[in-house]
Amino acid sequence: MRGKTAIVTGASRGIGAAAAKILAERGAKVAVNYARNKEAADMVVTSIRESGGEAEAIQADARNQKQMEELVQKTLGLYGKIDILVNNAGMSFAEKSFEEISWEEFIQKTEDELQAAFVSTKAVLPYMLEYKHGKLIYVSSGLSNHPAPNFISHGTSKGALNSFVKYIAHEFGGRGIAANVVSPGMVETDATAHLPEEFKKQQASYLPLQRLAQPEDIARAIAFFASEDSSYLTGSYMPVSGGGEMN
């Protein structure tokens, strides 16, 4: 990935931080996007630089068109072009059953999820189209295909994201742009740190690989889609779940 430039949204921690680090390790210059946690984003940048990579922390809410356009301009000012977008920014959601959840709580996650994907893609596409080359990678969830109690808003939003990516892949494939989905199962991140260890061990026992994912497991799949090794793939949905999403 030497000579490539990547924007990773939601890169201050978890999967996003791991993706930023592995892309930098493989030669890309990385815009480490964050919404609020500047300290964590700066730590990611420091880690990348200490390993010999190039990175810069840039604040923007992935749902905000003006902020994302400014992020893109800052990235272009630093690195001259944009080759890769990792759409990873996480959105909060109500963990409730269908009986308990209101329409407003339910639709909020889908609106946030799709707005972030739409705005971020709109912001980078003109520059990718100019060079007739670009890699768009979107982080989804296995819950989009395999329901779990109280995750109806999250799973539905990720299902909508999966569909969005297919339309982007279809429209822009002939113009050098690839769009693909990486779909994690349960990952050991801050978002799952509150779960009881016994529960996590139980979930791991159901998987063929017998362990939960680490952020680096998902980051390696993202790096594959960001590289030329995936040059004949677009519109793909890749489960990264230790075998948990076998059809």
| pLDDT tens, residue order, the chain (247 aa) | 999 999 999 999 999 999 999 999 999 999 999 999 999 999 999 999 999 999 999 999 999 999 999 999 999 999 999 999 999 998 999 999 999 999 999 999 999 999 999 999 999 999 999 999 999 999 999 999 999 899 999 999 999 999 999 999 999 999 999 999 999 998 988 777 777 888 888 888 888 999 999 999 999 999 999 999 999 999 999 999 999 888 5
Domains, the chain: 5-240 (3.40.50.720)
Q: Is the dihedral of CA 184, 185, 188, 191 positive or negative?
A: positive
Question: Please, are residues 31 and 8 in contact by the beta-carbon 8 Å criterion?
Answer: yes
Q: State the DSSP H helix or E strand holding residue 33, giving kind and residue range, or none if neither.
A: strand 29-34
Q: Is 211 left (phi over 0), alpha (psi -120 to 50) or beta?
A: beta
- What pLDDT does residue 188 have? 87
Nearest to 20 by CA among 10, 30, 33: 30
Output DSSP code: residue 214.
Answer: P
Return d(Cα 137, Cα 226) in angstroms, integer. Answer: 7
> Which are the contacts of 72, defined by CB distance < 8 A and separation ≥ 6?
7, 82, 123, 124, 127
Adjacent-strand bridge partners of 7: 31, 85
Nearest to 183 by CA among 148, 226, 213, 149: 213
